[in-house]
Structure 1
Amino acid sequence: MRLHGKVALITGAGTGIGAATAHRFAAEGAQVFLTGRRPGPLEEVALEIEKATAVNAGASWPVVATFAADMAVTGQARAAVAACLERFGRLDVLVANAGGHGGEAVADTGDESWQEALHANLNTCFVTCREALPALIDARGGIVIVSSIAGLAAGPAVSGYVTTKHALIGLTRSIARDYGPSGVRANCLCPGWVITPMADDQMDFLVERDGITREEAYALVTKDVPLRRPATPEEIAAICLFLASDESAIMTGSVVVADGGATAVDLPTLPFT
């Protein structure tokens, strides 16, 4: 029980990495507070956690709560943190996972699209961290910011996504430097391809373009990745658990890459493979 007695707030918790992280944290003894913009998926995840906890751990205390909010909006993020503190009495861990696309090249990106990318990927994380920091300082807690390998290198025609995911690494390091003396740790996780609803949507573009299955699309985008496969949400959740637990107590300001080896590949050498 690596998170026994801890309270974790997870953004983007209704699907994908966020949902898997909520399940893993609850299984490790945490009370989890789930946020996202859509109440339906949050409630589904919460019900699954309640059932699993009752069966596996026999817990008699509340283990999960949900709060539908746009965490990029100060008032809503502040209300979510307040609701978490009211329900569970403390906040030890923040997993800033929520994000979205920013999907054009620079010359094709209009003002509205640019602002949407900032809102979904950067503002959500910044505002959530800012509102959670007083409670995290009180608990001498930790933050896991989920960026992407798009924070390390650029994909085609996703300038808003790439820019904001790069910015999350800077935000992580700023928090680590400024709040480390108060006992707060902040680390950044950069996954590669992960089998999630968001990635499924991207695979479906290849499905329609190339007349292949979704599984074949995932194989295509990872054919030059050393491990030759995408990650599962559960594999990324396991790394979130490590960064949130005392096992990583000396780590802060770190950038942890979980991409099957994608960023280890020297692209100009691919013709020699």
Structure 2
Amino acid sequence: MVVIRQSPRAAAARSAAARHAPHAASHMHMADPVPVSVDGRDIPEEEIRAEMHNHPGPDPDTARNAAAQALVIRELLLNAARARDITARPDTDGQGRQELDDEAMIRALLDAEVTTPRADTAACRRHYDSHPGRFTTSPVWEARHILLAATETDAAGRKAARERAQAILAELASDPDRFADLATAFSACPSRAEGGRLGQLVRGSTVPEFEAALGRISPGEIAPAPVETRFGVHVVALDRHLPGAVLPFEAVEARIAAWLEAASWSRGVAQFISVLAAEADIRGVALATAEGPLVR
């Protein structure tokens, strides 16, 4: 892994090699490795095997390839730093961890070679207008339910739960105010102590089937049919719905600017690495560049 630093740019630089190599790892048998070198310097196999721990994934050959790519990129960056006589004092991050000398050199190299424009208000506004869904608050639902527990594999239990749910819905059709009493009597959810009240729910805070059911009814309504999830069969009531709202541009401009600048910088790093790779003699591993994979 490369570069430890507390700033966002340096934090990204820390994993420059790892991020531009695929991730995969395992402890299974690995094919006989091909020696890897950069400009005549061999990368020891033990270094590659140690780096594999940073690339979790499905199989050891893919893991080794990812680790080798990461170390090749690291070697390219160090060679470029040495060629430019770059020196740097190791930084310490917010947790007291200090960079190694090589990590500091890579950080200083990237700071010197990769420049990106600041995201101005116009660029931020274009991104904001093009992606309104990214800046919309989640809708909020206040709901109640009665859970009749039954696993998906328990056919008899599911059948009994559906029948009980239908009977509860029939009672509620004539007297909706009995919801709390019926929840207390029949629900398998701890919310039965609160009459089935679930409090405020936001998008993603419950299972998709339950959330979809909330979207099909209006406040004050009870879902006309039981709702089935992996937990069982539910009788669902919606008390209140607050639709999501688009956040004002001024509230998110700084966040957009930071994201645009970080994305631009990451692309710049990838392009810089591609240039270094195209000029280097890399053997034993395919290294993808902007123009395609390089291998000898």
Q: What TM-score, normalized by structure 2, do the two folds share?
A: 0.21
Specify which structure has the higher proportion of helix: 1
| Structure number, greater radius of gyration | 2
Q: Which has the higher contact order (CA 8 A, sep 6+)?
A: 2
